[in-house]
């Protein structure tokens, strides 16, 4: 399979989704997030600030992350060609544009690459295998809900299948699952970024430990996310030890028969290394590929594949495709770099957000369980649960679309990726869990409200009885009643004083009982006594993951 160099071009974007603990970051940088300022509005000022990791070699050498909003929209502009295939409502939500006062909930940044010497990404293993590829694209997507996606684009030409598959499989690793992986050459023993002879960052994976449930993330990733501090738990990876390779592979048209192409595509799709035939049982692999491969253009030598950990485009040669002329550029690559790339980002954002919701929901449920087990539900936990429900409502109504574009090819393409990510199943599951949690909180609050109403009813009856007693004694009775209670004489003074003492005792008892019931149940009544219209002080600096 590996005679010559049949790979005309390999282009891969390694996608790394992560979740920012907004509360931890905002509490450490309060100058950029004063009260009532949203997370998304403070990002630009924060990333431009001088105290944002000024000692980072990546930032010093490359200039750091800069806002990359779309600003030109003529026919030949990238913005026009990227946006035109999507529904208008998708353009307004998922495109960071400079269009007047339009407020978007996404920020896109890019890092300018050196013009003279290339930025090289090198990987080596303990068995002497290695590759060095130029980094062609560095992009960062930050969303208002704290989800981020780091995109590292690399490109190489005229290589062998073995080299292409090894690069994709090795460079996606962001931490080892064991020391044995490194010793066996299944993870890089060295991963580094260089410009000429200048070393910007490197990772050897020689040691590491899990700290607070966080594995030892590659310093290559940490250096690119220099504005966040992994060691202080400002962010965490959402998936496992691998990034998502979003790859385009252009093969020599004379590569071989269809069976050979199919076997190669399966290894590319499942991110396996090179070998003879299929990596797994052929019948099993073909059955899996029927679910994961899009073959609308297979007769022209174009295949698309989607799994939970890869997104692959394979093309046989560069040629005219219908009215799309090869002299205008490779159509398949152009779609790969354009709308399909953006669809891959959106689908990955869906999965990352839903997995982050799953974690947050579990942590909130634990806090509520601890409260309910002792019969005292803290107001702060109720507010956190309400915020989580509102955040999910915003995701469902604002971010989440089953359909991004109108053409069948784009719809089917996107649906296959979402199906591989289990987006619909995760969305329904979290929706049910939130509904159950909401029902539990409503039942609890209804029970507490009923108890509060019953207490008030009891107090009303007791105070009402006192009012009746007072009214009774206030009636203008004469004869014996007046002589004993209102105008006592020497022989009735004892009865008079006893009645006064009894009425005083009853009155004080009623008042003290009312004070006691309100005091011991102050949590149920204090919020209704607020007279100001300002919002209550909430858990602005509370980290759900760190528990404070």
DSSP symbols for 376-399: ---HHHHHHHHHHHHHHHHIIIII
Per residue in 111-121, pLDDT (tens digit) is 999 888 899 99
Asked if 459 contacts 467 with a C-beta cutoff of 8 angstroms, the reply is no
Q: How confident is the model at residue 421 (pLDDT cuts 50, 70, 90)?
A: very high
Burial of 516 (0-12, 13-18, 19+ CB in 10 A): exposed
Average pLDDT value over all residues in the chain:
86
Nearest CA to 545 out of 213, 247, 254, 306 is that of 213
What was the pLDDT predicted at 170?
94
Mean pLDDT of 424-444: 91
Q: Give tens-digit pLDDT for 130-139.
A: 999 999 999 9
Please give the residue that has the higher pLDDT: either 480 or 203: 203
Q: What is the pLDDT of residues 349-403, one digit of tens each?
A: 999 999 999 999 999 999 888 888 887 788 788 888 888 999 999 999 999 999 9
Q: Is there a contact between 152 and 193 (Cβ–Cβ < 8 Å)?
A: no
Residue 447, pLDDT > 90, answer no
Mean pLDDT across 455-460 = 76
Helix, strand, coil % in the chain, rounded to nearest 5: 45, 20, 35
Confidence of residue 449 (pLDDT cuts 50, 70, 90): confident
Closest of 148, 311, 172, 362 to residue 237, by C-alpha: 148
In sequence order, what E strands does 112-215 have?
119-124, 130-143, 147-159, 190-195, 198-203
How far is the C-alpha of 542 from the C-alpha of 26, rounded, in Å? 10
Measured distance CA(58)–CA(52) in Å, rounded: 12
Structure tokens given for 342: 């953006």
Candidate from 30-39, 322-331, 526-535 with smallest mean pLDDT: 526-535
Domain map (residue ranges) of the chain: 7-64+112-337, 381-548
DSSP-assigned beta bridge partners for residue 312: 247, 305
Q: pLDDT tens-digit profile of 271-300? A: 999 888 898 899 999 999 999 999 988 888
* Ranges 52-61, 167-176, 325-334, 534-543: which has the least confidence: 534-543
14 band by pLDDT with thresholds 50, 70 and 90: very high
């Amino acid at each position: 399979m590996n005679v010559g160099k049949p790979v005309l071009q390999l282009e891969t974007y390694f996608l790394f989704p992560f979740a920012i603990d907004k509360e931890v970051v905002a509490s450490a940088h309060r100058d950029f997030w004063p009260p009532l300022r949203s997370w998304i509005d403070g990002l630009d000022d924060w990333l431009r600030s001088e105290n944002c990791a000024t000692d980072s070699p990546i930032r010093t050498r490359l200039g750091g992350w800069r806002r990359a909003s779309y600003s030109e929209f003529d026919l030949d502009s990238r913005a026009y060609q990227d946006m035109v295939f999507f529904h208008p409502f998708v353009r307004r939500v998922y495109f960071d544009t400079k269009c007047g006062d339009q407020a978007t909930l996404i920020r896109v940044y890019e890092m300018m690459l050196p013009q003279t010497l290339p930025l090289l990404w090198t990987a080596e293993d303990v068995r002497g295998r290695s590759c060095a590829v130029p980094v062609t694209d560095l992009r960062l997507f930050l969303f208002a809900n704290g989800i981020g996606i780091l995109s590292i684009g690399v490109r190489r030409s005229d290589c062998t299948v073995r080299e292409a598959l090894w690069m994709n499989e090795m460079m996606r690793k962001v931490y080892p699952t064991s020391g044995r992986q490194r010793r066996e050459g299944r993870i890089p023993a060295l991963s580094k970024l260089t410009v000429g002879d200048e070393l910007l960052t490197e990772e050897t994976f020689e040691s590491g430990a899990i700290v607070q449930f966080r594995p030892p993330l590659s310093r290559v990733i940490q250096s690119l996310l220099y504005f966040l501090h992994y060691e202080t738990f400002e962010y965490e990876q959402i998936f496992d030890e691998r990034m998502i390779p979003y790859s385009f592979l252009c093969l020599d048209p004379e590569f071989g028969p269809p069976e050979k192409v199919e076997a190669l595509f399966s290894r590319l799709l499942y991110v396996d290394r090179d070998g003879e035939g299929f990596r797994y049982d052929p019948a099993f692999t073909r059955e899996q590929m029927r679910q994961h491969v899009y073959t609308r253009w297979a007769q022209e030598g174009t295949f698309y594949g989607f799994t939970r950990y890869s997104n692959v485009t394979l093309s046989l040669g560069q040629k005219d495709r219908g009215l799309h002329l090869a002299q205008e550029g490779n159509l398949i690559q152009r779609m790969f770099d354009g709308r399909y790339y953006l669809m891959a980002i959106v689908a990955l954002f869906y999965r990352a957000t839903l997995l982050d919701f799953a974690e947050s929901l579990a942590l909130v449920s634990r806090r509520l369980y601890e409260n309910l087990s002792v019969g005292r539900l803290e107001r702060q936990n109720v507010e956190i649960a309400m915020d989580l429900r509102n955040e999910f409502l915003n995701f469902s109504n604002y971010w989440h679309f089953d359909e991004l574009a109108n053409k069948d090819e784009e719809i089917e393409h996107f649906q296959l990726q979402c199906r591989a990510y289990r987006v619909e199943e995760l969305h329904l599951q979290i929706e049910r869990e939130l509904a159950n949690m909401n029902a539990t909180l409503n039942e609890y609050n209804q029970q507490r409200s009923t108890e509060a109403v019953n207490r008030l009813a009891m107090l009303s009856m007791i105070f009402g009885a006192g009012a009746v007693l007072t009214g009774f004694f206030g009636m203008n009775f004469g004869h014996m009643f007046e002589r004993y209670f209102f105008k006592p004489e020497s022989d009735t003074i004892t009865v008079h004083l006893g009645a006064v003492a009894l009425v005083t005792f009853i009155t004080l008892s009623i008042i003290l009982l009312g004070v006691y019931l309100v005091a011991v149940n102050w949590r149920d009544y204090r919020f209704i006594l607020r007279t100001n219209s300002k919002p209550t002080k909430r858990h602005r600096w509370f980290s759900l993951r760190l528990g404070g």
